[in-house]
Amino acid sequence: MRSRARILGLLLLSFLAGSAAYAQQQNSATGPSDIVKRGEYLARAGDCIACHTAPEGRTFAGGRAMPTPFGTLYSSNITPDRETGVGKWTADDFYVTMHRGRFPDGGLIYPAMPFASYTKVTRADSDAIFAYLKSIPPVNQKNREHDLRFPYNNRELILGWRTLFFTEGEFKPDPGKSAEWNRGAYLVEGLGHCGMCHSPINALGGTSQSDAFKGGLIPMQNWYAPSLTSNREAGLGDWSIQEIVDLLKTGVSARGVVYGPMAEVVFNSLQYLTDEDTRAMAVYLKGIAEPAPRPPAATTLPSTESSLLISLGKTVYDNKCATCHGAQGEGKTPGWPPLAGNQSIEMESAVNPIRMVLNGGYPPGTAGNPKPYGMPPFAGQLSDNEVAAVVSYIRTAWGNRGTAVSAREANELRSAPLD
């Protein structure tokens, strides 16, 4: 998950689903190697490597810095090292951590670890993940102390957070929905913890139940994770199941392309899901989308300054962008996404299009899209005014219904971290 704040995005998990009795039956029918293999799948599906592996670090040895509005947290070592990792833990200890958000000694875990989602994971799946972690090479690397400002360095405050935002309990299937829909719900809401990125975070660092999956800024990465419920943003209600599957599995589809943190999620995690699990996620995601009217067309910008901004934006677009994206923003999928009528361009938040112009990016290289086309960065070629101008033009041209952005917004994102 990168910090889960990174992580941007839609995710998932295991081979098992259904009742606890079914899970126990499956465990009794498989040997130790099968459980380890299934645990590896679950750890991959949950993108555990994103948070628990630092850049240039040893796999699962922790130490990744996760900046938050409250200070910096550092992920923990989950290799089976007996001194610095989870080598002395039992399967019960690991389940308590996943299910209750507490260390084996009862200590409180900061909710950067998405235990509010992990609590939905079945005991069988938790045991499989633990079996896999016990099978990997141990790494002797001490966990780094968190660097949190007062009073957030007082762990007792987590009790208040838990009272407001944490409900313990495994996933309960909805009897009114299909088995496939429930499987998708289990994947998205559980180990996948998609809501960590795709939900707004309030001043207390939590998300209310009513705001789940309604989109939000990822403060640790300065990207915007769009709403999964609103069809004005990433809501997939008018997408076909296959279009959603393609996006999750390969990072590209006839309707869109993933960049930024979501590209990493697809690369590290989603591309490895079974076809059945990917389709189940698609069915669930399509089912939670709520119809929403398109926003009203952006009004004609009244000021001379704004008019000049749009005029400059067209000039920049014609010189820098039209060759790939087309004179009328029509694009050429899958290599060059269309910009006309593109929901990601029109969203209320302009963070993502500004970052794409500044930093460029690539969709993930996946088995289904091994040689993705990328977009070059323009931060070194365009001034803040030019970045604001071209983004404003793209958001308002060809019938797009976004609004203009300012040079100040471009400047604030110019120094945003790239990872």
Per-residue pLDDT at 4: 39
Per-residue pLDDT at 20: 39
> What distance lies between CA 268 and its chain's CA centroid?
12
Spatial distance between the Cα atoms of 145 and 183, rounded to a whole number of angstroms: 37
Per-residue pLDDT at 281: 97
Backbone phi, then psi, for 216, in 5-degree steps?
180, 160
Question: 2.60.120.620, 3.30.413.10, 1.10.760.10, 3.40.50.300: which CATH number matches 304-414?
Answer: 1.10.760.10
Tell me the pTM: 0.84
**CA geometry: angle 326, 331, 335, nearest 5 deg:** 125
State percent of the chain over pLDDT 70: 88
Q: How many other CB atoms are found less than 10 A from the CB of residue 408?
A: 10
In this structure, are residues 330 and 407 in contact, taking their beta carbons and an 8 Å threshold? Answer: no
DSSP one-letter string for 203-225: TTS---GGGTTS-EEETTTTEEE
Spatial distance between the Cα atoms of 126 and 43, rounded to a whole number of angstroms: 10
Per-residue pLDDT reduced to its tens digit, 129-187:
999 999 999 999 999 999 999 988 899 889 998 999 999 999 999 999 999 999 999 99
Q: Which neighbouring-strand residues pair with 402?
A: none
Residue 141: closest CA among 245, 243, 16, 53:
53
Per-residue pLDDT at 304: 66
State percent of the chain over pLDDT 90: 60
Residues of the chain with CATH 1.10.760.10: 304-414
The most distant pair of C-alpha atoms in the chain lies apart, rounded to whole Å, by: 73
pLDDT-derived band at 5, boundaries 50, 70, 90: very low
pLDDT at 120 over 90: yes
In this structure, are residues 147 and 72 in contact, taking their beta carbons and an 8 Å threshold? Answer: yes
Q: Which neighbouring-strand residues pair with 216?
A: 225
Residue 39: closest CA among 5, 62, 16, 64:
16
